[in-house]
Chains A and B, each alone.
Chain A
Amino acid sequence: MFEVEPMAKILVLCARKDLDAAVDSLYEFGAIHVTRSTTFHAGAPSARLEPVSRMLVKLRAVESALAGEGLAAKPEGGAGGSGARHEHSMSNGAAVEKEFEALGLGEFDAAAKRKQELEGRLNELRSREKELMPFKAVKLGVLLLPQSLELAVFDVVTDGQKALGKAREFGEAALLQGGGRQQPKLLVAWDKGNAEKARSALGRLGKEASLPQSVKAFDEDYAETVEGISASERELAQARRRLREYSAKHGARVAALRGELEVLFKKADLPAKFGQSELSASAEGWVERKRLHDLEKALSDRLDDRILIEHMHTAEMPPSKLKNLAAVRPFEFMVGFFSLPRYKEIDPTFVTALTFPLFFGMILGDLGYGLVLLLMGLALALKFRKGFLNNVGGMLVLSAISTMIFGWVYAEFFGAESVFGMVELHPMLSRIEEEGINALFALSILVGFAHLTLGFILGVWQGFREKHLKHAYAKLSWIFVLFGLTAFIANSMNLIFTHYLGFLKIISPPFDAGMFILGMAGVAYFEGVVQLLELPSLVANILSYLRIMALGLSGVALAGIIAGIPLELSQLATVGGFVSFVLFGLLVIVGHAVAIVLGLIEAGIQSLRLHYVEFYSKFYKGGGVQFVTLRED
């Protein structure tokens, strides 16, 4: 619960000729964290790495191309069928190559290449069509004009008819519609002698554009372009059909073989971490102590007495694998997000699983919102059986239960003090009355005090576990400082929350001051005088827990506003009332949805922040290395 999985470092020795069998066995066992071997010389990847890598790259490209056409295939599970996955050993490279050849990738390559060429051609033709569209009715071409004449085209920005009239002063002119959103164009054929004068005059009415380059008349060129587009589209459809046929025939097998090659790639790369000599090979790694016997059995089943496994004694820090109850496991993600515990460090997951939902519930505290979050959490946890979303679902379920409990305490149901106006709720602590707010203020301080005390206690325990006694006594000193200071405040000051800290009055004066001074002396002795400057940080840490109250109040205010929207069944009696009922109803639903999302984000992030900054800093450093197995399953 508070410890990570005990690990053992092992050394595996075998003959070079048995390397492939050793790799297969290790991979089949899977639950080993392989490290770089320091025995013998540095190893090299298997000779199979290059062909496997080549096949893998090719299959990934094929899958990507098929996915681009919306033809992604998934490998089918089970023993039969072309999409079933098989596990290949290091020794059957020829079988893999044969399967690869059987995919007929030449056929795919031809279809994909043709499709790519046609797509490029279509893009060019469409661009050309757009360029020629204004000129589609013009039976002229640049090269078909008499030598004395010159063609020019202008994008008309002012009155088209005025521009046309002006252009006709210099030669033949026509106003062409651009088509779509294009501006109209003014096409002018003028005498080359008038070119400068014409340009100057027409330049004030429009901007000169470039003429499409063509050896034919524009209308002919346009017609050919359109014909070219149709033909290319027909051929492209054929190329796509060939790809669809390929996908239907081989798609599942491509996906399955890609998965098999990824495994084979890992196996082929594994010898790079081995140590190798001319005749021998060695592998080192970490294995859970409870699975050591399973590993020995797996290796000896395959290799009999041709393999030797030794337990290594090392000062190296083992990787960390968290070990928690199923209900608590979703919170491992939260700890990992901060940093994994080092091997001998206390795993804070269990404590986090208790306190995170507590803070979450104290902040959000609403029966209705808690119910919605509970349903969301259950849906996530049931839909996603593993992974990040399953963790989120698990955390959300526990947090939602806490939210509902505090919703009962605060008597809040979607911001109202009754359940749909039918059942009245009676608050034990009202967040809308002064007395309740003061009590919440004190409760937040108390929770902070307790949480920090717990952090220091864990710090003391950590110190004793690691036999760093100075560290343990320093944390104990901080506990004295915390209790002494809080008792002093409870005894001597009449603040809002001191009434609720009455239990600390058992530390009566002058013992409260004495405890504080003793604690400070302890901190100075065990951690150094400079650490006394951390006292304001300690006070700030406690006050930081007031965010529980502050965020809670802002949530109450928002929920209260939404709950105040007039929505009653009696409105359905009239047509106008029906319309207002529907509109207000939508407003209420959207409003509460926004409040739930904001509450979820704020309560989640702030609870997390209280753990990471205030709590973990008292006892936890992290820096552990993740235990990464050869196989995920």
Chain B
Amino acid sequence: MTALGAGLAVGLAALGTAMAQSSIGAAGMGLMAEKDGREGQVLIMLALPETIVILGFVIAFFLVGKIV
């Protein structure tokens, strides 16, 4: 069960991140097409949700530590 929890922690977090980044990425491409010089801001916005998957990884790591 712990292993399942670890897998779900990373998997579901990654799913959430992917859903967030898909919308942000599409909007970011639109912004870059219309305004020059916004690449830095788009990159930041796109990178923000990645913390979710890292936090999921942290939980999984702690859980895996328990299994081992």
Contact B50 A496 (CB under 8 A): no
Which B17-68 residues have a C-beta within 8 angstroms of A? 39-40, 43-44, 47-48, 50-51, 54-55, 57-58, 61-62, 65, 68
- Say if the beta carbon of A304 comes within 8 Å of chain B: no
- Say if the beta carbon of A434 comes within 8 Å of chain B: yes
Cα distance, A608 to B40, chains bound together (Å): 10
> B49 CB to closest chain A CB, in angstroms?
11
> A624 CB to closest chain B CB, in angstroms?
13
Cα distance, A337 to B62, chains bound together (Å): 37
Contact B43 A612 (CB under 8 A): yes
Contact A338 B40 (CB under 8 A): yes
Sample of 24 A–B contacts (CB below 8 Å):
A337-B39, A338-B40, A434-B68, A495-B62, A496-B65, A540-B51, A543-B55, A544-B51, A546-B54, A546-B57, A546-B58, A547-B50, A547-B54, A550-B54, A550-B57, A605-B47, A608-B43, A609-B43, A609-B47, A609-B50, A612-B40, A612-B44, A612-B47, A613-B44
A441: chain B residues at CB < 8 Å are 61
- Say if the beta carbon of A339 comes within 8 Å of chain B: yes
Total interface residues in chain A, CB < 8 Å: 18
- Chain B interface mostly helix, strand, loop or mixed? helix
A543: chain B residues at CB < 8 Å are 51, 54-55, 58
A338: chain B residues at CB < 8 Å are 40, 44
Q: When each residue 321-355 of chain A gets 1 if its CB lies under 8 Å from chain B and 0 otherwise, what string results?
A: 00000000000000001110000000000000000
A546: chain B residues at CB < 8 Å are 54, 57-58
Cα distance, A420 to B55, chains bound together (Å): 38
Cα distance, A546 to B51, chains bound together (Å): 9
Closest to A336 in B: B40
> B24 CB to closest chain A CB, in angstroms?
13
B47: chain A residues at CB < 8 Å are 605, 609, 612-613
> B61 CB to closest chain A CB, in angstroms?
7
B binding-site residues for A, Cβ under 8 Å: 39-40, 43-44, 47-48, 50-51, 54-55, 57-58, 61-62, 65, 68
A434: chain B residues at CB < 8 Å are 68
Q: When each residue 471-512 of chain A gets 1 if its CB lies under 8 Å from chain B and 0 otherwise, what string results?
A: 000000000000000000000000110000000000000000
Cα distance, A543 to B59, chains bound together (Å): 11
Closest to B55 in A: A543
> A402 CB to closest chain B CB, in angstroms?
21
B57: chain A residues at CB < 8 Å are 546, 550
B51: chain A residues at CB < 8 Å are 540, 543-544
B48: chain A residues at CB < 8 Å are 613
Contact A609 B44 (CB under 8 A): yes
A544: chain B residues at CB < 8 Å are 50-51, 54
Closest to A495 in B: B62
A339: chain B residues at CB < 8 Å are 40
A-B pairs, 3 with minimum CB distance: A609-B47, A338-B40, A337-B40
> B6 CB to closest chain A CB, in angstroms?
14
B62: chain A residues at CB < 8 Å are 495-496
> B15 CB to closest chain A CB, in angstroms?
17
> A612 CB to closest chain B CB, in angstroms?
5
Closest to B46 in A: A609
Q: When each residue 117-145 of chain A gets 1 if its CB lies under 8 Å from chain B and 0 otherwise, what string results?
A: 00000000000000000000000000000
Closest to A437 in B: B61
B44: chain A residues at CB < 8 Å are 338, 609, 612-613
> A606 CB to closest chain B CB, in angstroms?
8
Closest to B44 in A: A612
Which A597-621 residues have a C-beta within 8 angstroms of B? 605, 608-609, 612-613
B50: chain A residues at CB < 8 Å are 544, 547, 609
Cα distance, A495 to B55, chains bound together (Å): 15
Which A405-460 residues have a C-beta within 8 angstroms of B? 434, 441
Cα distance, A613 to B54, chains bound together (Å): 15
Cα distance, A495 to B62, chains bound together (Å): 9
Cα distance, A605 to B44, chains bound together (Å): 10
Cα distance, A153 to B65, chains bound together (Å): 79
Cα distance, A257 to B40, chains bound together (Å): 37
B43: chain A residues at CB < 8 Å are 337, 605, 608-609, 612
Q: When each residue 12-55 of chain A gets 1 if its CB lies under 8 Å from chain B and 0 otherwise, what string results?
A: 00000000000000000000000000000000000000000000
A609: chain B residues at CB < 8 Å are 43-44, 47, 50
B68: chain A residues at CB < 8 Å are 434
| 11 extra A-B contacts, CB within 8 A, seeds A543-B54, A544-B54, A612-B43 | A338-B40, A339-B40, A495-B62, A540-B51, A543-B55, A544-B51, A546-B54, A550-B57, A608-B43, A609-B50, A613-B44
B65: chain A residues at CB < 8 Å are 496
Cα distance, A338 to B40, chains bound together (Å): 5
> B48 CB to closest chain A CB, in angstroms?
6
A337: chain B residues at CB < 8 Å are 39-40, 43
Closest to A550 in B: B57
Which A579-633 residues have a C-beta within 8 angstroms of B? 605, 608-609, 612-613
Cα distance, A599 to B54, chains bound together (Å): 18
> B13 CB to closest chain A CB, in angstroms?
12
B58: chain A residues at CB < 8 Å are 543, 546
> B65 CB to closest chain A CB, in angstroms?
7
Q: When each residue 539-554 of chain A gets 1 if its CB lies under 8 Å from chain B and 0 otherwise, what string results?
A: 0100110110010000
Cα distance, A339 to B39, chains bound together (Å): 10
Cα distance, A608 to B39, chains bound together (Å): 13
Cα distance, A397 to B43, chains bound together (Å): 24
Closest to B57 in A: A550
Cα distance, A612 to B57, chains bound together (Å): 22
